[in-house]
Amino acid sequence: QQPVQSPQAVILREGEDAVINCSSSKALYSVHWYRQKHGEAPVFLMILLKGGEQKGHEKISASFNEKKQQSSLYLTASQLSYSGTYFCGTEQTGANNLFFGTGTRLTVIP
Amino acid sequence: GAGVSQTPSNKVTEKGKYVELRCDPISGHTALYWYRQSLGQGPEFLIYFQGTGAADDSGLPNDRFFAVRPEGSVSTLKIQRTERGDSAVYLCASSLSRATDTQYFGPGTRLTVL
């Protein structure tokens, strides 16, 4: 039930773009994206509900393809502050909780 | 307003001991979740409360783990006869009413079982 994230890790230079993917084998109702810095709690980024919508938050946006049970997080013109581990949390249809992926460690260097 | 708080921030105990971890959710949030996070892993669902009742406890690993939320606000996660494999960061999150709502995480309690 745990979603699969790819890549596991990525290193970017400031200003470069990245895409993080999240895939589930189960029918999904929503996908939640979080960023966690070392030693801190996960911080909410955005929720995508089924319907294939794409959401944006400054230079971070995401899409959700409910038919493929996949979501992607897009980071454009990356900043040093984007460094951290990104998790997708998937809510399966009819469930009450989130299943989190193993995370994607993003490192932005000057 | 105040976010989700958890106490203690760190807990070191010996194998076989009993521990209690506390979570104080955001005021007005009826949904409360406990997760466990091991190093290099994502949060692993343990239990979900809707109000005072445990709506889904399917993530609790065994009967040594138990959680309560008697007044629909503060929740306590209880672990009996702790084992070294229980060592992890225990995260609590709350949301307005259900999983589709944004879950706000607390800072976690780092449990170390020696």
Minimum distance, in Å, between the CA of residue A63 and any CA atom of chain B: 16
Query: Residues B46-64: pLDDT tens digits?
Result: 999 999 988 889 999 999 9
Mutate: best of A5, A55, A98, partner B, most B CBs <10 A: A98
Query: Residues A28-71: pLDDT tens digits?
Result: 989 999 999 988 999 999 999 877 566 666 789 999 998 899 99
B41 contacts in A (CB within 8 Å)?
102-103
Phi, psi (degrees; rounded to nearest 5) at B84: -60, -30
Under the banding of pLDDT at 50, 70 and 90, the label for residue B99 is: low
* Amino acid identity at A31: V
Residue B92 to residues B36, B61, B88, B109, Cα–Cα distance (Å): 9, 16, 13, 9
Report the candidate in B40, B2, B42, B41 with the shortest Cα–Cα distance to residue A90.
Answer: B42
Q: Do B99 and A2 touch (CB under 8 A)?
A: no
Least confident among A56-60, B29-33, B76-80: A56-60
Output Rg (C-alpha) for chain A, integer angstroms. Answer: 13
Q: Do A97 and B33 touch (CB under 8 A)?
A: yes
**pLDDT of B100 over the 80 cut:** no
- Burial class of residue A102 in the structure, from the number of CB atoms within 10 Å of its CB (0-12 exposed, 13-18 middle, 19+ buried): middle
Q: Do B48 and A96 touch (CB under 8 A)?
A: yes
Q: Do B102 and A91 touch (CB under 8 A)?
A: no
Under the banding of pLDDT at 50, 70 and 90, the label for residue A90 is: very high
Give residue B50's pLDDT. Answer: 92
**pLDDT of B2 over the 70 cut:** yes
What is the average pLDDT across B5-11?
A: 97
**pLDDT of A96 over the 80 cut:** no
Minimum distance, in Å, between the CA of residue A15 and any CA atom of chain B: 26
Give residue A49's pLDDT. Answer: 86
Query: Residues A12-30: pLDDT tens digits?
Result: 999 999 999 999 999 898 9
